[in-house]
Amino acid sequence: MSEINIRRMAKELNLSISTISKALHDSHEISIETKRKVRRKKSNTIAVVIPEVADSYFSLAINGIEAIAREKEYHVIVYLTHENAEREASILEDLSSGRVDGVLMSVSSETKNFEPLKNLHARNIPIVFFDRICDEIPTATVTTNDFESGYLAAKHLIKCGCKRISYLSISDQLSIINKRMEGYKKAIGDAENYNQKQEVINCSNDNVSTKKMIRELLIKKTAPDGIIASVEKLAIPVYEVCRELDIAIPQQLKMICFSNLPTATILNPPLTTINQPAFEMGKTAAEILFKALRKRSFQLKDLHKVIPSELITRESAC
């Protein structure tokens, strides 16, 4: 809670600022009744700041967060940055005013300036990052094993006989996308006796230009025979371009996508995916945040949870 809010609350409840502060820290000096009074005056709301909801990862993560928030009788409000650094900054500024008690966040792919995040953190509003973290803020994180998953995806395509695997990226800013890429590169390197080629394509958040890039990739002479798509929204343009160019999946092109798409099983062909533990990650991040909200002395900064992803093989690869 921000200092302004503590001061306001002290006035409203006719208590000293130090009593409010002790009550919020769950101090034994303060009576249960006073603690209750103080807690009732909090916003009882947490914010979830994420890039978008059209990605199944985030809609599942929200469900995990809400499962915990409901138990604690907290409201969850969702803010969308739409991968836009300026909008994200404006949201963080709004949150700095003390509108919520704590923040769960997945960073936009275009954020380069971390001052707005540092300002929010400096206000003593607890923040827990999930999935897309910001290394510059010393707080708790919940991630999945992105490096190992990238490695596993490439190994699987190599096992299926691919000789030219391309990796589709969407951002060179995001730690998760880069870790997946490093895993992919390591697997290619490890398999050098197979004479593997590696190639990273930097797609964008704009669907039209992404589809154009994928088209150029797939019509060239040295077109890949395997694709690893780093995020869910890249699956649709790859399938569409293959259909337009009459490229058969998996016969001519094998594909794995980092995705929690509920329609993966009914696509043509069904899509092999790296499924992230989205619900679990949201739930775990919320559990950590509520520990910090319950006890203000709870140390967030050295808490880093990693929950593994899972390769689910379907017909699009092998």
Out of 80, 89, 140, 214, the only residue in the binding site for its own copies (CB under 8 A) is: 80
Out of 57, 66, 139, 153, the only residue in the binding site for its own copies (CB under 8 A) is: 66
Span from 79-87, 116-124, 141-149, 220-228 in contact with its own copies (CB under 8 A): 79-87
Work out whether 314 is an interface residue with its own copies (CB under 8 A).
no
Work out whether 252 is an interface residue with its own copies (CB under 8 A).
no
Q: CA distances (Å), 219 to each of 157, 241, 248, in order? A: 20, 10, 13
Out of 185, 269, 280, 311, the only residue in the binding site for its own copies (CB under 8 A) is: 269
Out of 21, 27, 45, 119, the only residue in the binding site for its own copies (CB under 8 A) is: 45
- Measured from the CB atom, is 31 or 63 closer to its own copies? 63
The label of the residue with tokens 């009744």 reads 33
Distance of alpha carbon 300 from alpha carbon 126, whole angstroms: 8
- Measured from the CB atom, is 37 or 99 closer to its own copies? 99
Q: Which tokens hold the place of 178?
A: 């880069």
Work out whether 56 is an interface residue with its own copies (CB under 8 A).
yes
Which residues, 124 to 183, sit near its own copies by CB under 8 A?
Answer: none
Q: Which tokens hold the place of 305?
A: 């949870």
Task: Work out how close the CB of 243 gets to its own copies at its nearest, in angstroms, rounded to a whole number.
Answer: 7
Task: Work out how close the CB of 195 gets to its own copies at its nearest, in angstroms, rounded to a whole number.
Answer: 32
Q: CA distances (Å), 128 to each of 37, 85, 124, 162, 233, in order? A: 26, 19, 12, 39, 25
Q: CA distances (Å), 228 to each of 154, 155, 156, 256, in order? A: 7, 11, 10, 5
- Measured from the CB atom, is 76 or 213 closer to its own copies? 76
Q: HEC states along 82-99?
A: CCCHHHHHHHHHHHHCCC
Give the side-chain half-sphere CA count within 13 A for 9. 24
Span from 77-85, 101-109, 137-145, 292-300 in contact with its own copies (CB under 8 A): 77-85
Angle between helices 32-40 and 17-24 (to 10 degrees): 90
Q: What is the DSSP letter of 193?
A: G
Distance of alpha carbon 39 from alpha carbon 23, whole angstroms: 8
Out of 7, 70, 295, 301, the only residue in the binding site for its own copies (CB under 8 A) is: 70
Task: Work out how close the CB of 295 gets to its own copies at its nearest, in angstroms, rounded to a whole number.
Answer: 24
Work out whether 59 is an interface residue with its own copies (CB under 8 A).
yes
Q: Which tokens hold the place of 139?
A: 């707080």
Q: How many residues form the binding site for its own copies (CB under 8 A)?
A: 39
Q: What residues make contact with its own copies under the rule CB under 8 A?
A: 45, 47, 52-54, 56, 58-60, 62-63, 66, 70, 75-80, 82, 87, 90-91, 94, 99, 235-236, 239-240, 243, 261-263, 265-270
